[in-house]
Amino acid sequence: MMQQAREALTNVFGFKEFRPLQEEVIDHVLQKNDALVVMPTGGGKSLCYQIPALIFDGLTIVVSPLISLMKDQVEQLREYNISAVQLNSTLSQQEYQHNVDLLKRGEVSLLYLAPETLLMSRTKKLLKSLDVDSFTIDEAHCISEWGHDFRPEYRKLAMVRKNFPDAVTIALTATATPRVQDDIKRTLELKETEAFIASFNRTNLFLEIRDKHRPLDQVLTFLDRHENQSGIIYCFSRKQVDELAEELEYEGFSVRPYHAGLSEGRRNNNQEAFIKDDVDIIVATIAFGMGINKPDVRFVVHYDMPQNIEAYYQQIGRAGRDGLQADCLMLFSYSDINKIKYFINKKQGQEKKVAERHLNALLQFIENNKCRRIPLMDYFGETYPSDTCDMCDNCVGSPQEVEDLTEPAQKFLSCIVRTDQHFGATHITKILRGSEAKKVKEHGHTELSTHGIGRELSKKQWKKLSEQLLIHGFLERDPEYGSLKLKQSGIDLLKGRKALYGRINTNNKSADRDSARTAASAEKLDYDETFFKQLRQKRKELADKADVPPYVIFPDTTLIEMAYYFPQNEESMRAIHGIGSAKLNKYGDEFGRLIKQYCEEHGIEEKKKRATKTRRSSRPRAGKFSKKRHHEVGPAYNNGQSINELMDEYDVKMSTILKHLRKYYKEDNPLRPEGFLEVSGLDEQAQDSVLQAYEKHGPDLLRPVHEELDGEISYKELKIMRLYYLAQMG
């Protein structure tokens, strides 16, 4: 029978191998032994009952508390040509009757049911007349009063189960706490040997926690690395959600808010848009996420601290279900803790104690400087088997010592004062390091007493120092000119009334982290991004036509492999992840045609995919069409309007205009190059160096270019020159 199971895995689902525990569970279940399956979100629980359902002659009943998930599962199964139906209160009388008829004729493999529906006497009667082989309880933690999601009807399932003596019982949950697991076992009378508990370590999630200084900027920088990817940003309050969503929209991102204060219609609308890839980002309170099955969520950001570790784990768990890398960023500040404490203090007795314990555990997790996975797994009762993971901020760089920076800080501040607070960090650094550059001489700054007094630190270290001075409020930056000015506490520091402690070692974590990433990503499939974009468009078209989410047609992984291997016949198409018989029949021709055509036009040959597993950690980027601002800005710019004029016209910052133009370019539109040079503040020599750096590192990431140029050139200039570089290439 396991042979049949393996065939189903490849021929029906198009997967090449089982995930951990799937094979064991399926083997166990096929022998009609009951099972409790505990796997983290994205672990692949569904296959544990779906594959047996295909092999059993009789019906598999799946009880599931969330109607939206039920619909999603049924849609996905139908795409595999598996006969699945649902019975719940959302169906029309006609649909309901149709499904009942199918069941009576024995034409259904899987029946999805809401618990209320199952408990109705007419359903019980119907099911009694059918041959039931498997009784599956999804989200089984709802049985437990200790779970966060207790459903009284779920308790009754234990009784109902006895109506199907020939059926095997499978209970599935992603809840890790032993107490809830015991409760499930006890209620369903399962034996110890029948529990399958997978590791809760989600290896494809990159975990990162940063001090929250300038949260909006931090999020914008983070989003720059995630262009056109789907992601969720969690905030503490509704107000914060609205503000941040608005801010991001203004910055040109494709974003929608979600919280309980919005009408149900708007909430559903926004959620649907996210699922269907019509928008990239959802900014939300914790109200968002239940019932979302989207496998290609590429990032989760906690703009505010989460309530506790369990909530954090559940929320980041929504990222990367498809197994590709996903990034999880938490911004952490002590004032957020005070917010949480405020709410805790309103509680009383036992409840207050529990909340305090949760908060302390969370703080320990955040402040620990070992691998993040060690305390996280420990919290869930698992011992992480190693000291490092290479997928968290603490592992990818070594923690550094804090040092007294007061003296160099005073030099820096003093130099700012001596140049009348008219200059930015780069110029100040040049003076301190004794530079004889043209601009330094022109301003007579080689004559200053501070000229050359800071040679002991590198440019990068001065840069770090200036960042810390900004972050801690000693300095402020003029938003327009970028020049630095002292604030009151800066004056205090200069006069020795205050001190600065921090880290300026340039061998910093984030730099290390990026290099580690590049090393890791060398293994990724170097797929054709332009073609990937076209494939996504095709998928979106088909999905809209069928009124299903795009991921129901194919996951990103399938498209990435197509854009790498360019399969052109049936056999090689079957080798692609996610392509089984049904999908080959349905979509093979359509995608095959697209591939052939693209290969002919570009002289590309098919690559052979080896049967062994390829490690995939590629991070998809793809364009989406929106009828938005950039469709106005792009043509206006090409018709001769300057960037400055456009800034006035739309009343936005230059970065926003640049973002629109980049978006426009990414949709395969040309841009006129000259307009970018007009706004560049660099001299020709600097411009050339930047262009050379882009030539060397490619235009996708700014950081390597920034580093190549010793951090001398601002990101803003780099962005301008990147567009010039791209525009010139056509």
Q: What is the nearest approach in angstroms of Zn ion to the Cβ of residue 317?
A: 17
Residues 6+ apart with CB under 8 A from 318: 41, 232, 289, 292, 294, 297, 300
Q: What is the nearest approach in angstroms of ligand ADP to the Cβ of residue 667?
A: 28
The dihedral built from the CA positions of residue 641, 642, 647 and 649, taken in this order, carries a sign that is: negative
Rounded CA-CA distance 428/419 in Å is 8
Count of other CB atoms within 10 angstroms of residue 459: 18
Residue 617 or residue 680: which is nearer to Zn ion going by CB? 617
Rounded CA-CA distance 530/524 in Å is 17
DSSP string of 18-77, one letter each residue:
PPTTHHHHHHHHHTT--EEEE--TTS-HHHHHHHHHHHSSSEEEEE-S-HHHHHHHHHHH
Told to check if 416 binds Zn ion by CB under 5 A, we report no
Residue 203 or residue 268: which is nearer to Zn ion going by CB? 203
Q: What is the DSSP letter of 397?
A: S
Told to check if 392 binds Zn ion by CB under 5 A, we report yes
Residue 29 or residue 389: which is nearer to Zn ion going by CB? 389
**Interface mask (CB under 5 A) for Zn ion, residues 504-543, using x and -?**
----------------------------------------
Residue 66 or residue 395: which is nearer to Zn ion going by CB? 395
The dihedral built from the CA positions of residue 326, 564, 6 and 583, taken in this order, carries a sign that is: positive
Stretch that binds Zn ion, among 296-304, 325-333, 391-399, 698-706 (CB under 5 A): 391-399
Pick one of 29, 389, 493, 560: the residue that binds Zn ion (CB under 5 A): 389
Q: What is the nearest approach in angstroms of ligand ADP to the Cβ of residue 593?
A: 25
> What is the Rg, in whole angstroms, of the alpha carbon atoms belonging to the chain?
29
Q: What is the nearest approach in angstroms of ligand ADP to the Cβ of residue 569?
A: 23
Residue 232 or residue 389: which is nearer to Zn ion going by CB? 389
Residues 6+ apart with CB under 8 A from 275: 292, 294, 549
Residues 6+ apart with CB under 8 A from 146: 177, 179, 180, 183
Pick one of 371, 428, 504, 535: the residue that binds Zn ion (CB under 5 A): 371
**Which helix (H) or strand (E) segment is 84 a member of?**
strand 84-87
Q: What is the nearest approach in angstroms of ligand ADP to the Cβ of residue 177?
A: 17
Residues that bind ligand ADP (CB under 6 A): 15, 18-19, 22, 39, 41-47, 295, 321-322, 555
**Residue 252 interacts with which of ligand ADP, Zn ion, none, CB < 5 to 8 Å by class:** none
**Residue 623 interacts with which of Zn ion, ligand ADP, none, CB < 5 to 8 Å by class:** none
Told to check if 180 binds Zn ion by CB under 5 A, we report no
Q: What is the nearest approach in angstroms of ligand ADP to the Cβ of residue 37?
A: 9
Q: What is the nearest approach in angstroms of ligand ADP to the Cβ of residue 60?
A: 15
Rounded CA-CA distance 276/569 in Å is 29
Told to check if 205 binds Zn ion by CB under 5 A, we report no
Residue 123 or residue 136: which is nearer to ligand ADP going by CB? 136
Residue 15 or residue 150: which is nearer to ligand ADP going by CB? 15
DSSP β-ladder status, 255-258 and 84-87: unpaired
Told to check if 328 binds Zn ion by CB under 5 A, we report no
Residue 96 or residue 380: which is nearer to ligand ADP going by CB? 380
**Residue 257 interacts with which of ligand ADP, Zn ion, none, CB < 5 to 8 Å by class:** none
Residue 6 or residue 653: which is nearer to ligand ADP going by CB? 6
**Residue 502 interacts with which of ligand ADP, Zn ion, none, CB < 5 to 8 Å by class:** none
Q: What is the nearest approach in angstroms of ligand ADP to the Cβ of residue 551?
A: 7
Q: Which long-range contacts (CB under 8 A, 24 or more apart) does 56-59 make?
A: 56/109, 56/133, 56/134, 57/131, 57/133, 58/130, 58/131, 58/132, 58/133, 58/134, 58/166, 58/167, 59/103, 59/106, 59/108, 59/109, 59/110, 59/111, 59/130, 59/131, 59/132, 59/133, 59/134
Residues in the chain: 730
Rounded CA-CA distance 165/167 in Å is 6
Told to check if 377 binds Zn ion by CB under 5 A, we report no
Residue 321 or residue 540: which is nearer to ligand ADP going by CB? 321
| Phi, psi of 689, rounded to the nearest 5 degrees | -60, -40
Here the tokens at position 105 are 């004729």
Residue 16 or residue 487: which is nearer to ligand ADP going by CB? 16
Torsion of the alpha carbons at 378, 381, 383 and 387, rounded to the nearest 10: -10
Q: What is the nearest approach in angstroms of ligand ADP to the Cβ of residue 46?
A: 3
Q: What is the nearest approach in angstroms of Zn ion to the Cβ of residue 520?
A: 13
Residues 6+ apart with CB under 8 A from 218: 210, 212, 331
Q: What is the nearest approach in angstroms of Zn ion to the Cβ of residue 387?
A: 8
Footprint on this chain of Zn ion (rule: CB under 5 A): 371, 389, 392, 395
